[in-house]
A and B are shown apart, each in its own frame.
Chain A
Amino acid sequence: MDRTVVHIECDGVGKSYLQKGRTVPVLEGLSFGVRERELLVVLGPGQSGKTTLLRLMAGLEAPDAGCVRMHGEPVTGPGTDRGLVFQSYMLFPWLTVLGNVEIGLDIQGRRTGATRAQARDKARAYLDMVGLSGFEDYFPHQLSGGMKQRVGIARAYALEPQVMLLDEPFGQLDAQTRLSMEQETERIWRANRKTMVFVTNNIDEAVYLADRIAILEGKLPGRLAAIRDVPLPRPRDPMDVAFLRLREEITAMQKLAL
């Protein structure tokens, strides 16, 4: 695949919600493309419409204006070509760790004809990828936040989507766990190079992970303030001078946008 080919794109996307009888515009005139195998981070403070943006790309909601396209085809609903990871984990509390990773495969298998045993093997393989071997029979409430999100990530990868969409996946984690999960994310991304859209409000996280950062304006309706390349070599060192300089620069851009 060519790294300059646009994989998933937003074209003039706009969305507003009805709130207490008033129309609140959340996104307006948003256009950008995510290239194949790229790790694009959408950076914006709270209330900048970034979760809405991801929900539109996932097809969980439809835009009021504009269009989301994948390889040129308009997105009309959720599908297994896009894997989702949510801030609130959204694991099924009545299923074990293995069950949570398996269920998507199982549902998919009903259409593709894959057997349960194949689904199980695949689920185990992806749990192994996120370092959760041995926790297959635990229930979500027995896991720490970081482990829950590992399940969330394994679950999304298990369906082998073309694009991974992550919505502030580490927002509920403590700083230490967060850092190790970021390293883990980069390792996994580098290992299988799937197109990834990663939404966050954390500048360090953005600079650490991104090939490019799409910076949103910090107020509603959310608009694109800038797209910034991150040309630093990987793995990156958050204490490195170049890292810190870029971090400063993006902080300044965000302030400007506010």
Chain B
Amino acid sequence: MRTAPPPGRNRMRLRLLSVGSLLAFVLLWQLCVAPEGVSDWRIPRIMLSPPSEVAALFVDKLTNPKPDGETLVVHAWVSMQEAFLGYLLALLVGIPLGLAMGWFRTVRGLLRPIFEMIRPIPPVAWIPLTVFWFGIGLGGKVFIIWMSGVVPCVINAYIGVRMANPTYINMSRTYGATDWQVFTRACIPSALPMVFGALQIALVYCWITLVAAELLASDKGIGYLITTGRFLGRTDLVLVGMVSVGLTGALISLIIDRIEARLLAGLRR
């Protein structure tokens, strides 16, 4: 076995590797795209914009509403609002539902079949219906995002309860706890790590679905920006949208990671 380097140096090396790979990727991308008017072995401009242009447009779009009507900040804000609203509703409904399905046989019997039917339907498949129901505004997208977020919430909470350490449950039974007390005092806390897992997974799902939903039905948002880029034949605009989605998603994941680490500190054994 290799001996582990000191932790400080190790972290430094890891960071260097990450930054290095990112830089290498951008560099490769830049090298692979042909400049305007040149046609050689490289990818023509019409198919892919180089990162330099994407970066420039990114900065420009922060304040410039052309050509799609809104600045990048507005698009991102609209998208985030939709995503967070759908996400929060998914947590509020999905987690209690999953917990209840795990603990109460009746709830499980009632909801499991319906849930199993809905689960395999991709959230985007709901788009046509939601357009009929809600139009292309906020409501429809929130609904689709809710759909995609609620599934992992239910599953994780459900599994968390089903896998709750039986010794904790026995232990609380020896205190003379009622079924409800066992559920709230022993079962839910021991299911929490799984539930926190759901927070992360659901958010990623929500974010992915959001962009898909905006691609198909919207007049604002990052997904709309990408579609506009497509209609105008501007790969740089499309890429600005994609990069924004990626960056925001990664940022949100990072924040959730931090919160989770802090909340779970007390749960370590």
Point out residues on A near B: beta carbons under 8 Å. 58, 60, 77-80, 82, 84, 86, 88, 90, 92-95, 103-104, 107-108, 110-111, 139-141, 159
Query: How long is the Cα–Cα vector from A58 to B170 in the complex, in angstroms?
Result: 11
B181, A94: Cβ atoms closer than 8 Å: no
Whether A80 touches B176, Cβ cut-off 8 Å, given contacts A92-B186, A94-B192, A110-B181, is yes
With an 8 Å Cβ cutoff, the count of chain B residues facing the other chain is 20
Indicate if B106 sits at the interface (CB-CB under 8 A): no
Bound CA–CA A159/B172 (angstroms): 12
Determine if B121 is an interface residue (Cβ-Cβ < 8 Å). no
A92 contacts B181, C-beta separation under 8 Å:
no
Is the pair B181, A107 in contact by a Cβ cutoff of 8 Å?
Answer: yes
Give Cα distance in the complex from A151 to B269, angstroms: 15
Contacts of B176 in A (CB 8 A): 78-80, 107-108, 111
Q: Is the CB of B170 within 8 A of A92?
A: no
**Interfacial chain B residues near A84, Cβ < 8 Å:** 171, 174
Pick from B172, B181, B266: contact of A139, CB below 8 A: B266
Q: Are A82 and B192 in contact (CB under 8 A)?
A: no
Q: Are B175 and A80 touching (Cβ within 8 A)?
A: yes
Inter-subunit contact A88/B167 (CB<8 Å): yes
Contact residues in A for B103 (Cβ distance below 8 Å): none
Alpha-carbon distance A139/B268, docked complex (angstroms): 9
Q: Does A90 lie within 8 Å of B168, measured CB to CB?
A: yes
A159 touches B267 (CB 8 A): no
Bound complex: CA A58 to CA B175 (Å): 11
The answer to whether B174 and A82 have CB atoms under 8 Å apart is: yes
Which of B174, B175, B181, B269 is A60 in contact with, Cβ under 8 Å? Answer: B174
Q: Which residues of B have CB within 8 Å of A94?
A: 189-190, 192, 266-267
Q: Are A90 and B167 in contact (CB under 8 A)?
A: yes
Q: Which residues of A contact B190 (CB under 8 A)?
A: 92, 94
B173 interfacial contact with A, CB 8 Å? yes
Q: A93-B266, A103-B175 are in contact. List 19 more A-B contacts (CB 8 A).
A: A78-B176, A80-B175, A84-B174, A88-B167, A90-B171, A92-B168, A92-B190, A93-B268, A93-B269, A94-B192, A103-B172, A104-B174, A104-B175, A107-B177, A107-B181, A108-B175, A139-B266, A139-B268, A140-B269
Cα A206 to Cα B172 with chains together (Å): 29
A159 x B269 contact (CB < 8 A): no
Given known A-B contacts A93-B269, A94-B267, A107 and B185 have beta carbons under 8 A apart? yes
The answer to whether A141 and B175 have CB atoms under 8 Å apart is no
Report which of B173, B174, B189 forms a contact with A92, defined as CB distance below 8 A. B189
Count: A-B pairs, CB below 8 Å: 58
Q: How far is the CA of A86 from the CA of B170 in the complex (A)?
A: 12
CB distance from A212 to the nearest CB of B (A): 25
- What residues on A are CB-neighbors of B177 within 8 Å? 107
Q: How far is the CB of B151 from chain A (nearest CB, A)?
A: 26
Q: How far is the CA of A80 from the CA of B171 in the complex (A)?
A: 11
Given contacts A88-B167, A90-B167, A92-B168, contact A78 B174 (CB under 8 A): yes
B173 close to A78 (CB less than 8 A): yes
Contact check: which of B172, B266, B269 meets A107 at CB < 8 Å? B172
Give A104 to B175 CA distance when docked, in angstroms: 5
Chain A residues near B192: list those with CB within 8 A. Answer: 94
Q: How far is B176's CA from A93's CA once the two chains are assembled, in angstroms?
A: 20
Q: How far is the CB of A32 from chain B (nearest CB, A)?
A: 22
Which B residues are CB-close (under 8 A) to A111?
A: 176
Q: Are A58's CB and B186's CB within 8 A? A: no
Chain B contacts for A86, CB-based, 8 A: 167
A86 to B186, CA, bound (A): 17
6 A-B residue pairs with Cβ-Cβ distance under 8 Å, sorted by A, are: A80-B176, A92-B186, A92-B190, A93-B269, A94-B267, A107-B181
Chain A positions within 8 Å of B167 at CB level? 86, 88, 90
The distance from the CB of A184 to the nearest CB of chain B, in whole angstroms, is 22
Closest residue of chain A to B189 (Cβ to Cβ) is: A94
List the B side residues contacting A159 at CB < 8 Å: 175
Q: Chain A residues with Cβ under 8 A from B168's Cβ? A: 90, 92
Q: Nearest Cβ distance between residue B18 and chain A, in whole angstroms? A: 30
Which residues of chain B are near A103, meaning CB under 8 Å? 172, 175, 185
Q: A183 to B268: give the CA distance in the assembly, Å.
A: 31
Which B residue's beta carbon lies closest to that of A59?
Answer: B174
Is B174 a contact partner of A80 (Cβ separation < 8 A)? yes
The answer for the CA separation of A95 and B170 in the assembled complex, in Å, is 17
* Minimum CB distance partner of B185 in chain A: A103
Considering the chains assembled together, what is the distance between the CA atoms of A103 and B192 in angstroms? 18
